[in-house]
Structure 1
Amino acid sequence: MAAPGAGVPLRVVSYNIHSQRDDTAALAAVVRAAAPDVVVVQEGPRRFRWRQKSAALAESFGLVVAAGGLPALGNLLLTSLRVRVTASRCQRFPLTPGRHLRGAAYADCVVGRGARFTVAGSHLSTDPAERPAQAELFARGLADAPWPVIAGADLNEGPDGPAWATVAAGRTDAAVATDRADRLTFSCGNPSRRIDALFVDPRITVVDYDVVDTPETRRASDHFPVLVDLLLPPTD
């Protein structure tokens, strides 16, 4: 585990919520119990009335919508009122015929007394042939961010995959930083893979990391949530 230094604390959850097809009361309870400042959602609302559904999801978590939704193909960024969002943008990856559209969401934020960061989220393809190109586009988006990056993603492959390596390059894998890379994130019914990750700029200190495995998380989705405590460097 990285030793905490001077900085601004931030709690982040990255969570594939399985399109809210499971126990939504358990889902809300899981996130509220974590008390995060930021939630990076994969498989959030992306179809009919997605704005209202995204706002309702955020409200159930006690948060507000920062970015994403349909323009980011279901990648959704939510924040507490402690976090101020200064800019946001969405990215769509090129469509492979016969496959699902994929994308990413980004939000530039400030918390505390001038600690600035960019939070991003993505959900890469289940097809190993198209994942590497999507990972490259996501990595470029992260490289273009104006502030230290926090990136949560369902990569649909493990740490030995090429897409994972592309996104991880030059960034800290929060699980590795805390010696908890053995914590599996998928599936809740039969945990066998670590395909969900949180990567951060090396200037950000990883204080703690957990994959939350409880009776509620097993009812809430087919993925376990990744919960990470960080210390951000002051940037003002």
Structure 2
Amino acid sequence: MAGPGVPLRVVSYNIHSQRDDTTALAGVVRAAEPDVVIIQEGPRRFRWRQKCASLADSFGLVVAAGGLPALGNLLLVSLRVRVLATRCRRYPLTPGRHLRGAAYAECLVGGARFLLAGSHLSTDPAERPAQAAAFKRELAAATLPVVAGVDLNEGPDGSAWRTVAEGLTDAAVAADRADRHTFPCADPRRRIDAVFVDRRIGVVDYDVVDTPRTRRASDHFPILVDLSLPAAG
């Protein structure tokens, strides 16, 4: 018989390429005390490894996967989380006007294994469906329970959103908080960022963190989710 679930605190956050108040950004993430952080628009250019490490250090975390190989998608973890394997993807396969990618990390925490994934889809509606399908193929092929953070650049009524969400739990909906908008901070009116999880994972709590500090830190609000992972055994 399986034991009680293993808690996991997740932040998913488009950090606007660190173009805003980086001190506020670090304070936002540290205050959340996450186990894992899924970053969109992280370092992806010159000296990206050093910049990713510096960003992780400012949060009190370490780099798991991502950066340039994932075109700015970045996965960070606390020392509570053991990273077992990582991979990065870029899509579309041929260079396009809006190159995007994804980062993946197989992780272990408290005896529970899971796949952590992050992606950022194009602002171009003509490009998003193929990118969503590529991301979804990776998620659907996973044998581990999936925890995915995504900036979809469209709302729940969009086809790309529906592609990614199929068969997964939308954490906002599960917590009855789908009315919480994530973008833009100056005038929040859209929910274009989401955390999707395997149906074996329980959603304990969900919040879009709207504070004076988060309004200074990025043009997106961070999503904070408490999960209960299925324990091994």
TM-score using structure 1 length: 0.96
Which stretch of the first structure deviates more once superposed, 145-154 or 164-173? 145-154
1:61 maps onto 2:59 in alignment:
yes
Matches within 5 A, 1:192-203: 192-203=189-200
1:123 maps onto 2:111 in alignment:
no
Residue 146 of structure 1 and its aligned partner are, at CA, apart by 2.9
Residue 143 of structure 1 and its aligned partner are, at CA, apart by 1.3
1:48 maps onto 2:33 in alignment:
no
Asked if structure 2 preserves the Cα contact closer than 8 Å seen for 1:36 and 1:80, the reply is: yes
Task: Name the aligned partner's letter for residue 199 of structure 1.
Answer: F
For residue 134 of structure 1, what is the aligned residue in structure 2?
A: 131
Distance 1:17 1:64 in 2: 17
Q: Which runs of 5+ in 1 are unaligned?
A: none
For residue 215 of structure 1, what is the aligned residue in structure 2?
A: 212
Distance 1:62 1:101 in 2: 30
1:230 maps onto 2:227 in alignment:
yes
For residue 92 of structure 2, what is the aligned residue in structure 1?
A: 94
For residue 103 of structure 1, what is the aligned residue in structure 2?
A: 101
For residue 168 of structure 1, what is the aligned residue in structure 2?
A: 165
For residue 154 of structure 1, what is the aligned residue in structure 2?
A: 151
Greater than 4 Å deviation, 4+ residue runs: 95-98
Aligned residues: 231
Asked if structure 1 preserves the Cα contact closer than 8 Å seen for 2:182 and 2:191, the reply is: yes
Residue 171 of structure 1 and its aligned partner are, at CA, apart by 0.2
Distance 1:118 1:168 in 2: 16
Distance 1:212 1:95 in 2: 35
Residue 14 of structure 1 and its aligned partner are, at CA, apart by 0.2
Which string of whole-angstrom CA distances, capped at 9 and with x for unpartnered residues, describes residues 13-34 of structure 1?
A: 0000000000000000000000
Residue 145 of structure 1 and its aligned partner are, at CA, apart by 2.0
Matches within 5 A, 1:169-188: 169-188=166-185
Asked if structure 2 preserves the Cα contact closer than 8 Å seen for 1:95 and 1:101, the reply is: no
Task: Name the aligned partner's letter for residue 47 of structure 2.
Answer: R
Percent of residue pairs identical: 80
TM-score using structure 2 length: 0.97
Q: Which runs of 5+ in 2 are unaligned?
A: none
